[in-house]
Amino acid sequence: MIGLMGLALILLVASVGLGLRRPPHNVIIFVADGLRSEVVTADTAPALAAVRDEGVDLRNSHSLYPTITTPNASAIATGHRLGDTGDFANVVYAGGPPLAAAYGGQVAALEDDAVLGDMNQRFGGNYLNETSLLAAARAQGYSTAVVGKLGPAAVQDVTAREGKGGIVIDDNTGGPDGFPLPPEIVRAIKALGLPTATPDRGLNTSPGDFRGSGVRVANVEQQDWLSRVAAEVLLPRFKAAHRPFVMVFWSRDPDGTQHNQGDSLNTLTPGINGPTSMAAIRNASNDLQRLRDALKRLGLDKTTDVVVTADHGFSVASKQSASSVAAKMTFGDTPAGFLPRGFLAIDLSTALGLPLFDANGLTVELRDGFHPRHAGQILGADAARPQVIIAPNGGSDHIWLTGPAPKTMAARIVAALTAEDYTGAIFVRDDLGPVPGALPTSAVGMRGSALTPPPAIIVSFRSFSTGCARPEVCGAEVADTELQQGQGIHGSFGRADTHNFMAAIGPDFRAHFRDPAPVGNADIAITLAQILHIDLKPKGRETGRVLKETLRGGIVPAYGAKSRRSAPAANGFVTILNAQAVGDTPYFDAAGAPGRTLGLTP
């Protein structure tokens, strides 16, 4: 007969042999949209700084390029770069006939639940073509929820649209366009004395115009509601379910307020360093603190990892150019000498000798003082058969070539771009090149297993410092946007935009550790999947890496810097790409022509 000691030994050996592990931990991914790494201090954002100081400081951090929201949302969700997810920009050409939710336009703005649904329908039920961390976790028995900003919130769990599995709460919740919620969640929200519909942004909404300043308050009311629902409804429910959970909280601030802030009308200073932007940074920090306080109150803090990231950094919008034809035209809503919305399409229309239309097919009457107003533009003799489709995305514009002879057209467009003083970096799809002055899009992770049409050309606009002691904190960039000079923008390949805030804390992470190695948004899902023992079942190969050095007992990997330079254009213009790498995993610092990109090392 086996004694108790012998039985215990047998069970121990058996458990090791079967690979049994401790019960899975929980995870919260907190995304502070548009938060710059270097702006976070104990004074500006105490809760955010505390995670960095007490846990893992991911100071050598990277946003994916283009440095805009839904591309980085797709990377945070899946652990894949854009060549696999196909989420190439906030505004994209989806191929084929216009999407129903795009209202007849040839381009689709992805920060919209209905558009995301149409994208799924067009591309086999999941336009990202990769499994998200939330979907994989739910399939393995985890409770899941995503709370926050319209668009990137739904991207985190893009196939969960029926309200029967994962919980998705965003700007539309409680309205006719919102995802349904389980009745018990609605009852719990009511029990707190809160409305069952997400509040709107109130005074945080309007960006103003060139005559009148934008907002002077942060997005507090809306985010208070969202963070209270997460902390006081969802977290207690998850605890009561006695199952591990994964939650994503996507804070619209500081992004939304920085875009619309009214502290710097038509001037580059203070830009996004004025009091309104600082209030937005503190607002995001307060929301994080509310979630961490709830974890402690519920006794979940010792079993929950918290990863904080930003989808991208931020800069100040510049609307000036000495070379642009568009800047020399007169428009009723644009200061004299400033670049209007759609300036790139105007300049290319002139350079190529092609008629200009808004993406909905309406002619742009430049002679009558009208510039493009739709989310995208079309060049060609017939709007129904475009030759060039342009999607403005702030500090970068994306171009699709849908007419004949795309190689010839690509060469003509690059030649025109190299002549403009606002051009920072140029990338051309590999099958259309090589083109002097441009690097291939594969150099920045855009060739993979994506289902959506990849852009033919991407141009990043010039970025620079406005002159403060820390250049990244006062970065500026030329931007194709309806916003005013002096308001906030992002999307360029300057280091102010690629250097997002990242940090982590919790039972699986090292304490008081500063990671010197490069890290990025595509690493988050990969790392958390290992911590949680979740199989993401990747289809593509453009993935991030497990941040082993950040975990308890981890060792910092070998890493290094590298640079790539294009062949020069006829006028000498070159695109240089600065990057770092850990093994085969790349991290992009900056790219552009010398003197035209903040943080670029020629």
Write the pLDDT tens digit of every residue in 213-241.
Answer: 999 999 999 999 999 999 999 999 999 99
pLDDT tens-digit series, residues 496-537: 999 999 999 999 999 999 999 999 999 999 999 999 999 999
Residue 492 burial (CB count, 10 A): 37
407/552 Cα distance (integer angstroms):
51
pLDDT tens-digit series, residues 437-455: 999 999 999 999 999 999 9
DSSP state, 512? S
Mean pLDDT of the chain: 95
Residue 5 has pLDDT above 60, yes or no: no
- Residues with Cβ within 8 Å of 302's Cβ and at least 6 positions away in sequence, in order, are 507
User: Contact, 261 vs 215, CB < 8 A?
Assistant: yes
Residue 165 confidence (pLDDT): 77
Q: Which residue has the tokens 């989310």?
A: 375
Q: Please tell me the least confidently modeled range out of 20-24, 329-333, 345-349, 549-553.
A: 20-24
Token pair of 317, please? 């919008």
Residue 416 confidence (pLDDT): 98
381/16 Cα distance (integer angstroms):
70
172/448 Cα distance (integer angstroms):
33
Residue 8 has pLDDT above 90, yes or no: no
- In degrees and rounded to multiples of 5, residue 359 shows phi and psi of -65, -15
Mean pLDDT of 141-155: 97
Alpha helices in 104-144 (DSSP H): 113-122, 133-139
- Residues with Cβ within 8 Å of 406's Cβ and at least 6 positions away in sequence, in order, are 432, 456
410/402 Cα distance (integer angstroms):
11
Report the DSSP pairing between strands 56-57 and 513-514: parallel
Mean pLDDT of 184-200: 97
Mean pLDDT of 329-351: 97
Residue 250 confidence (pLDDT): 98
Residue 433 has pLDDT above 80, yes or no: yes
Mean pLDDT of 258-272: 97
Residue 22 confidence (pLDDT): 67
Q: Is pTM, for the whole model, over 0.85?
A: yes
Residue 90 has pLDDT above 70, yes or no: yes
User: Contact, 17 vs 295, CB < 8 A?
Assistant: no
What is the SS3 assignment for 262? coil
DSSP state, 326? G
10/61 Cα distance (integer angstroms):
46
Residue 107 has pLDDT above 60, yes or no: yes
| Better-predicted residue by pLDDT, 8 or 220 | 220
50/47 Cα distance (integer angstroms):
5
Residue 549 has pLDDT above 70, yes or no: yes
User: Contact, 273 vs 474, CB < 8 A?
Assistant: yes
- In degrees and rounded to multiples of 5, residue 7 shows phi and psi of -65, -40
pLDDT tens-digit series, residues 550-567: 999 999 999 999 999 999
> In the structure, what pLDDT confidence band is assigned to residue 21 with cuts at 50, 70 and 90?
low
Residue 162 confidence (pLDDT): 76
**Domains of the chain with CATH codes:** 26-84+130-314+495-550 (3.40.720.10), 317-489 (no CATH)
What are the beta bridge partners of residue 388?
379, 401
pLDDT tens-digit series, residues 458-484: 999 999 999 999 999 999 999 999 999
Residue 163 has pLDDT above 90, yes or no: no
% of the chain beyond a pLDDT of 90: 94
Residue 15 has pLDDT above 50, yes or no: no
Residue 2 confidence (pLDDT): 43
C-alpha closest to that of 57 among 501, 564, 527? 501
Residue 392 confidence (pLDDT): 98
Q: What is the largest CA-CA distance in the chain?
A: 98
Mean pLDDT of 36-50: 98
